[in-house]
Structure 1
Amino acid sequence: MLKLLACSGVAACTPAFSSNNTANDKRFDISLSQWSFHREILGGSKKDYSQFIRTLHSTPDDVLQGTMDTTDIVITARKLGVSHVDLVNVLFFGHAQDKKWLNAFKSKARNEGVGFNLLMCDETGKIGHETVLGRKQAIDNHLPWLECAAELGCKQLRVNAYGDGNYLEQLQRCSESLNKLADISTQYNIELLVENHGNASNNGAWLAMLMQMTAHKNVGVFTDLDNFFMGGWNLSPKRLYDRTQGLIDLAPYTKGISAKTHNFTLDGEEVSINYQHCLNLLVDEGFNGFVSAEYEGDFKTEIEGSDLTVKLLKKYQYLSKYE
């Protein structure tokens, strides 16, 4: 039986830094996902998801019904000892081109000594839409967020490879759009990443084929350690894609990692994901970028779960800590 970890607060869980660590044996950097706090930011606005989407596209600030200001993620990152944040566009959907708001956010981050690494884009259309017009609209919908990412100093933009048709048709259509988006993102010095994040992309082999077909030097994968299943989000039972095989498929293209957690054992390991195995597999293939701490569980508060996720990543961040 798994023994679950008890944690009475951030101070009790905050990991100590080893004085033996050196820059030479650091295997990856750690960032904090803004999505880890989506419940505190959005409150109950997602209970009726259809209404949430309608509100997001009409009066987007109205979905921010929680107790946490969306910009306070930089304060939280500092408290957790993390130097970079990964942002999610739906958590500030109305401010992509609001220079005054973005400047205030940048200033707040700067005051906390925190930078922005990646911006995740949702609700921007299907880049693999069945029509040329639909694909063009999806590309156009991403452009304000590319500008926003550049304004905030992000280095990467995460997009979704959503499309219509069979697997082959989606490959062709998504690849076409990714090449166009990647040419544009290159002008902003921003790397374009595709996440295994629903629909065909949760099939590791399909996403690897998409990378091969796209073959753009500015396109890579934002590999989520937990998003390996096929056929959609809500199938019951789920049709799982083997996690290890998925990581092997995506490792050559991985430029960022989403470290999703749900619950923890007594020694701080994730209950359902072998983090040492997963991180070793990707690092051994040459990955040395940012691993984004994303707590998705219901067993801890968001701050406690995020702290435990950061602690888990720090456990394997340096060679000297476990060799």
Structure 2
Amino acid sequence: MTKNTIIPLFLLFTLTTMFLGCKESASKSEKEQVSTEVKEPFFKLSLAQWSLHRAIGSDQLDPVDFAEKAKEIGFEGIEYVSGLYTKKIESMGMEALLDTLKAKSVEHDIENVLIMIDGEGDLAASDEQERNQAVENHKKWVDAADFLGCHSIRVNLFGSKNEDDWIANATIGLRQLAEYGQSKRINVIVENHGGFSSNAELLTRVIKNIDMENCGTLPDFGNFCVKRDSGENWRGKCIEEYDKYKGTEEMMPYAKGVSAKSYDFDKEGNETTLDYPRFLKIVKDAGYTGYVGVEFEGSNVSEEEGIELTRDLLIKIGKELSE
């Protein structure tokens, strides 16, 4: 080998070593970038309109501006409450109201997720005529959800006071409404909202009885009171409560939505009455990746502050569980 060939070989070796070193550094840099990448929550965030019911009730917020307000607070989806539009329906009419709500959601680029229905009769009533009327009353809200582009309506499942009668009648009434919902490609979902509906074992038995893809549940973290001293579904002191975490776990296989109820927070931003990390672990383990709705019901802070605290806590835990 001549002296002239030694120099090029030396240069080739040097360049190859530099190239491999750069490649290894780039590879390390890429790995570091991946490891430090910020994870997003495994779910999307929606705002339940009930979180703002005091502002709406006192005329501080016009319910037709719900989409704008939700977007302002940082949400990508909204959950309407039918009862908060009673006055608007009377003054505007249902068609004009829906046109306005749809236009507002488009304007503010926010998704209409579902409508929570109250006050339209008992779907589990023992009296057949009463039960059938309740089904008919709910149909206009299925139509409204279809028009707005929602995926579901949330219904209550009240009626019979005897457990066996409730299961039988709830199965009949809910199936009839679900069949109508199916024709519009709208889910009919039941929230644990007092009485037998807050007994997750009984509620899921009804859902299994119906066995329809568009008939499911809306687990609410805080609504598992089965019996109150007043004998009513909401008013009065709770004297019998179903296990919240067990109930949520039982309802999640049929969930088309999740309602993150919140009441109070400490200085670190943790919900003090509910174990949020435990709840969200249950939700994640069920494979759920849809919307989680913020539903603040506390009174120690303003509605907007409570919404923001709930939102931030969900994002924090959601990111941790996504790692």
- TM-score clears 0.5: yes
Aligned residues: 280
| Residue deviations 1:107-154 (CA, integer Å, cap 9, x gap) | 122111112101000001011111111111000000111111111111
**Would you say the 8 A contact 1:40–1:67 is kept in 2?**
yes
State the superposition RMSD in angstroms. Answer: 1.8
User: Shift of the alpha carbon at 1:317?
Assistant: 2.7
Give me the whole-angstrom Cα distance separating, in 2, the residues matched to 1:173 and 1:184: 17
Question: SS of 1:224's equivalent?
Answer: coil
Alignment-mate amino acid for residue 291 of structure 1: V
**Would you say the 8 A contact 2:82–2:118 is kept in 1?**
yes
| Counterpart in the other structure of 1:20 | 37
Answer with 101-110 or 146-155: which moved more: 101-110
Q: Map of 1:1-323 to 2, 5 A cutoff?
A: 20-21=37-38, 26-43=41-58, 66-93=59-86, 94-95=88-89, 98-231=94-227, 232-319=233-320, 323=323
| Residue deviations 1:233-284 (CA, integer Å, cap 9, x gap) | 3343531211122122212222211111111122211111111110111220
Question: SS of 1:317's equivalent?
Answer: helix
**Would you say the 8 A contact 1:118–1:156 is kept in 2?**
yes
**Would you say the 8 A contact 1:33–1:293 is kept in 2?**
yes
TM-score (norm 2): 0.82
User: Max radius of gyration: which structure?
Assistant: 2
Relative contact order (alpha carbons < 8 A, sep ≥ 6): 1 or 2 greater? 1
Give me the whole-angstrom Cα distance separating, in 1, the residues matched to 2:98 and 2:214: 25
Percent identity over paired residues: 31
Question: SS of 1:244's equivalent?
Answer: helix
Answer with 144-153 or 241-250: which moved more: 241-250
User: Shift of the alpha carbon at 1:161?
Assistant: 0.6
User: Shift of the alpha carbon at 1:186?
Assistant: 1.2
Give me the whole-angstrom Cα distance separating, in 1, the residues matched to 2:72 and 2:272: 25
Q: Evaluate the alpha carbon distance shift between residue 107 and residue 300 of structure 1 in structure 2; reply closer, same or farther with a 3 A threshold.
A: same
Question: SS of 1:238's equivalent?
Answer: strand
Alignment-mate amino acid for residue 286 of structure 2: E
| Counterpart in the other structure of 2:9 | none
Give me the whole-angstrom Cα distance separating, in 2, the residues matched to 1:69 and 1:258: 23
Question: SS of 1:269's equivalent?
Answer: coil
Alignment-mate amino acid for residue 77 of structure 1: A
